[in-house]
Structure 1
Amino acid sequence: MKKITKKQPWKYLFWLGPFLFMVGFTAGLVSGSWGLLPLAFMIPGIAVIIFWVVWQSQQSRWWASRSTQAGTNAVVATLAILVILGLINFLGVRYQLRQDLTETQLFTLAPESQELVRRLPQSVKIWVFDTNQNPQDRELLENYQRQSSKFQFEYVDPQSRPGIAEKFGVKEYGEVYLESGNKRQLVQSLNVNERLSEIKLTNRLQQLTNSTVVKAYFLQGHGEHPLTGGESAISQAVQGLTEKGYTVEPLNLADKLQVPNDAVAVVVAGAKRGLFDAEVKALQNYLNRGGNLLLMIDPDTDPKLSPLLQEWGVRLDNRLAVDVSGAGVGLGPAAPIITDYGQHPITKDFGKGISFYRLARPIEITSVAGIQSTPLLQTKPYPNSWAESDLQSEKLEFNPDKDLKGPLTLGVALTRKLPATSNPIPTPTAATTPSPLTTPTTTQNQATPTPTVATSPATPTLTATTTSLPSPATTPATEEKSEQSPKESRLVVFGNSDFATDGVFQQQLNGDVFLNSVTWLSQQDQQPLSIRPKEPKNRRITLSTSQANVLTLSSLLVLPLLGFLTAAFIWWRRR
């Protein structure tokens, strides 16, 4: 018989520890204050529990048993797994890693949007006055917010918060406003058919954060593309500049004979007739005083700009650029497809993107002291592309005696350093003596060497120098103040203007080439140069009635019957 021992009631005092701890914990949790009273219960409870564990271990030596060791290993392994999972979740919240696997990167901001938000000079906030939070719109706003803590957004019900709605002048549900400091601007109005657009939001961010007013002038009067609607108009290009904060105005040099002083860039888009000598001289003077010029000159045209181009080492070839690789995508041989871009801020983010230029002429570049040139657009090597001289032939074939082998340069960007002057942009008046900048002299011709251009077909020579070019007109006053930082004039030349016209501007990277060129020319360093945000492509498949019937029969009848016949054949072989 087992010896019956008398129970010792003091052993049950162990339960006093958990009881005291739960009393103190509950008191602190309910009151929200972990003061003296909750601690007065919790500390003795913890002390009782620790004392009981130590006493039990001394009495039974349970830690030496195999079951205790196995249990301890299980507890340690479980705690280790929980700690690892906790660390993974912490790192996942702290450092997010997102991978967009869609073909058109629908859930990723364009590089231009990312760079713009990261460089925000001050905090901005998006106010969406709507009761429903569309998941697509919210995902787009969260993508912006991930780029910078200065970007915030908030959904507001105009009925529940009428004060805020009245401050913004909200008229209907779905209006989206952008606020930065004391500035407020309407982004767009949302509805069932129109969701929040990255293009509109990025453009509004640029306009709101850029306080400077920049003007781009388009030369008119020589058969250039019209700015508004009409045949071969460039209204979409003008709208793109306006959305980026530019003020676009036409320019007629025959009336003024001088480029306005507030012009950050002048665009000559497809002039078909020659400019007067005085107009060409006005453009030269504009470049000599630190201006920026974009020339888009089509084949079989002569705008009489050769004197200006020779100063910069640029020659326009009269032959036609031919690219036979475009036939597979519906483009003829006279529409070169460009996938090779120069290492330049205008094209740095294009990668292997596509742009095309219908009826383009090659550009030859020669070395000129003080001018740095960078090819922007390069066609494919021969035999895919060449410069065709016989434009009357119905079948384009390479003639080694007259034609020029590819690759061909269709666009080039050039810069020229100019010493600073005390009066950066002189304003001539009728009462004053004409400035040397506006009077042609032999000194200017000597200061700017004219390149020797080879007339025989040859591969263009591309060089880049950093030697400073002497000022076209130097006076003692400017020499005394030469300590100012030098200015820079910029020139971009394309052998085509069709890529910026309506209908073609929004295809592939054509619009990006134009907008980035103007942005780089305007020397607006606060504006990022990159690919503009794109709208999602429509990937819906439209089927006719017969196609839908074939798809239905194949999925409900043909495929099951094929599987049944396959199973029957396998059974018969194994029988």
Structure 2
Amino acid sequence: MANDEKTPQKARKPSRLLQRSSLVVYLIVVLAVLVVVNVLANRHDKSWDWTKSHRYTLSAESVKILSELNKPLHLILFDRSSNFGAARQFFDRYQRQSRLVNVQYIDPDRHPAEARQYKIQSYGSIVVQSGDQQQIVTNMTEQDVTNAIVRVLKGAKKIVYFVAGDGERSPDDNGRNGYSALKSALESENFTVKTLVLAQTPAVPKDCAALIVAGPTHPLLAPEVTAIEDYINGGGDALFMVNPETNGPLINYLDTQLDIKLTPDVVVDTSGIGRLFGASELMPVVAHYDQHPITANMHQVATLFPYARTVEPGTIANSRAVVTPLLETTPDSFAATHFANNQVHVNPASDRHGPLTLGVAGTLPTVSSGVGLQNVGDSTEARFVVYGSPDIVSNAIIDFQGNRDLFLNTMDWLAGQQKFITIRPTPPTGAPVNITAGQMRGLFLMFLIGLPVLIILIGIGVNLKRRTL
């Protein structure tokens, strides 16, 4: 009997040894897998952004700008060392797009000489540097950093002149119809904004990169239009945004010299699309864009054209100007010719049906020298753009979907900076989670009661399983 009782105990020893050996092998395999995964993760960094606004992913503009770098770009963060960890997550997104992006992290308290060299005034300042161009931003957001990158890559600032003196929109006006937000947008894109009273100046300054005539409420005088004509003939670039009521020598010049058809009408959109955005029938929503560098990247955004008139290529035979349509309304729109005092009457039987063109772009060969801009674009031709509404970039409308991008793309095209034409990054928006009182109680029960109970039950189950072995 004694020998019979010892036999099972001897038989158990190899079994326990085998179990322990298997456990050791299993742990070694798990550790080896973890090491391999860690090495691969370090060599092939990959992240996923599941936020609704993609706040942890660079925008298409940032990716485009970085992918086209042809010279080193330096980003230098001056901040406390304790903040470098979070900052690296932000700047790594830029470095992943180009090997030409170099990032430095400097603590101004430990390296005061470098802080004085770059004239750093506050923690969190970022120096953006490329070649001999440098910008400093104080907010670590994609919008601010990418705008600074654009400014240093564009080089010297270009001057934009707004024509004044005939009731035009003002870049210094903070009201709903003013252009102060537009001025800020231009300055963020490395333009300098000035005003020009043509009635007091016989010619457009030669440092003008682009001339803007925005919604004059009074007809421009003949000498003013002559100054604009001389500027464009000399290779100058210009943007015109005209009201339905705009008339006089300026409209005649656009028609006869630049081959642009400007019918006195008001566009009415009866499609109902505008109501989705809180817009009336007198604020056509544009979602169809023709093929042109200005609108090449805008096919997924809409633009709003409040109180607009039609602007179309003309029909002058053998015209020197080459004019291209840019954007069109929906088919359910009309060009109403009966309007006065903001009262518009549509006659479906006689008014033209959509789609209707609201903007055109064109070129004109240079016919004189020594007049116009400082050769920032193609000096052999002038570029011009005409839109049928000055309200598209007013303070009240500029932030509507693609309106800001449409205008800035227009300015980049006029200034010969096509590679910067794109959709700009938007400020990150929060996505708050609204939880009811009942949901809060459910979360409380799940995490503070349910989860501990589940762990206890799993422990009991494992213990019972071991006893049966």
Q: Which TM-score band (shorter chain)?
A: 0.7 to 0.9
Letter in 2 for 1:127: I
Aligned residue in 1 for 2:437 = 552
Distance 1:125 1:206, change over 3 A: same
Choose the corresponding residue for 2:241, options 285, 290, 296: 296
Report whether the alignment pairs 1:537 with 2:422.
no
Of 342, 349, 364, 2:312 maps to: 364
Correspondence 1:508 to 2:401: yes
Q: Is 1:317–2:263 an aligned residue pair? A: yes
Q: What RMSD in Å do the two structures reach over aligned CA positions?
A: 3.3
Alpha-carbon displacement from aligned partner over 1:151-181 (angstroms, at most 9, x marks no partner):
1212222222333223223333222222335
Mapping of residues 169-188 of structure 1, within 5 Å: 169-181=119-131, 183-188=133-138
The 2-side partners of 1:393 and 1:204 are apart by 44
Using the aligned pairs only, state the percent identity: 29
Residues 360-383 of structure 1 deviation map (CA, whole Å, 9 limit, x = unaligned): 11123224434332222211113x
Alignment CA distance shift 1:239-1:486 (3 Å):
closer
Residues 1:171 and 1:139: Cα distance change in structure 2 (over 3 Å): same
Aligned to 1:119: 68
Name the residue aligned to 1:425.
371
Alignment match, 1:444: none
- Rounded to whole Å, the distance in 2 between the matches of 1:354 and 1:162 is 49
Offset, 1:391: 3.5
Give the aligned partner of residue 144 of structure 1. Answer: 94
102, 106, 111: which one aligns with 1:161: 111
Residue 408 (structure 1) aligns with? 356
Q: Distance in 2 between matches of 1:110 and 1:261?
A: 36
**Structure 1 residue 183, shift from structure 2 partner:** 4.9
Q: Which runs of 5+ in 2 are unaligned?
A: 1-28, 446-469
CA distance in 1, matches of 2:348, 2:116: 73
Select which of 265, 280, 288 maps to 1:340.
288
Instruction: Give the counterpart letter for 2:190 in structure 1.
Output: G
Counterpart of 2:186 in structure 1 is 241
What is the 5 A alignment of 1:215-294? 215-231=159-175, 232-294=177-239
Q: Quick check: 1:299–1:318 contact (8 Å CA) kept in 2?
A: yes
Cα distance change of structure 1 residues 554 and 114 upon mapping to structure 2, 3 Å threshold = closer
Aligned residues: 403
CA offsets 1:385-406 (integer angstroms, 9 cap, x no match): 2222344699977523321101
Give yes or no for contact 1:272–1:303 (8 Å, CA) kept in 2: no
Question: Is the CA contact (8 Å cut-off) linking 1:337 and 1:355 kept in structure 2?
Answer: yes
Match of 1:354 in 2: 302
Give, as a single letter, the amino acid of the residue that structure 1 aligns with 2:356: L
Aligned match of 1:57: none
Corresponding residue SS for 1:257 = coil
Contact 1:520–1:529, Cα closer than 8 Å, also in 2:
yes
Q: Which amino acid aligns with 1:337?
A: V
Q: SS at the partner of 2:249? A: coil
Q: Which residue of 1 aligns with 2:13?
A: none
| Match of residue 464 from structure 2 | none
Q: 1:354 & 1:289 partners in 2: Cα distance?
A: 35
- With the length of structure 1 as denominator, give the TM-score of the two structures: 0.63
Distance 1:426 1:158 in 2: 46
- 1:450 paired residue number: none
Ranges in structure 1 where 5+ consecutive residues have no aligned partner? 1-78, 191-195, 428-484, 561-575
Say if 1:415 and 1:174 are closer, same or farther in 2 by CA, change over 3 A. same
Calculate the TM-score normalised by the size of structure 2.
0.77
Q: 1:135 to 1:496 in 2, by over 3 A?
A: farther
Residues 316, 135 of structure 1: alpha-carbon distance in 2 compared, 3 angstrom cutoff: farther
The farther-off stretch of 213-222 and 140-149 is: 140-149
Q: CA deviation at 1:251?
A: 0.8
Aligned to 2:451: none
Q: Is the 8 A contact 2:180 2:395 kept in 1?
A: yes
| 8 Å Cα contact 1:271-1:303 kept in structure 2 | no
Give CA deviations for 1:249-307 in whole Å, capped at 9, x if unaligned: 10111112211111111000111100111111111111111111100001223253123
Aligned AA for 1:114? V
**Aligned position for 2:389:** 496
Asked if structure 2 preserves the Cα contact closer than 8 Å seen for 1:133 and 1:155, the reply is: no
Per the TM alignment, residue 141 of structure 1 is displaced from its structure 2 partner at its CA by 1.6
Distance verdict in 2 for CA 1:166–1:506, change over 3 Å: same
Tell me the distance in 1 between the aligned counterparts of 2:121 and 2:50: 39
Is the 1:340–1:352 contact (alpha carbons within 8 Å) kept by the matching residues of 2? Answer: no
- Is 1:214 equivalent to 2:148 in the alignment? no
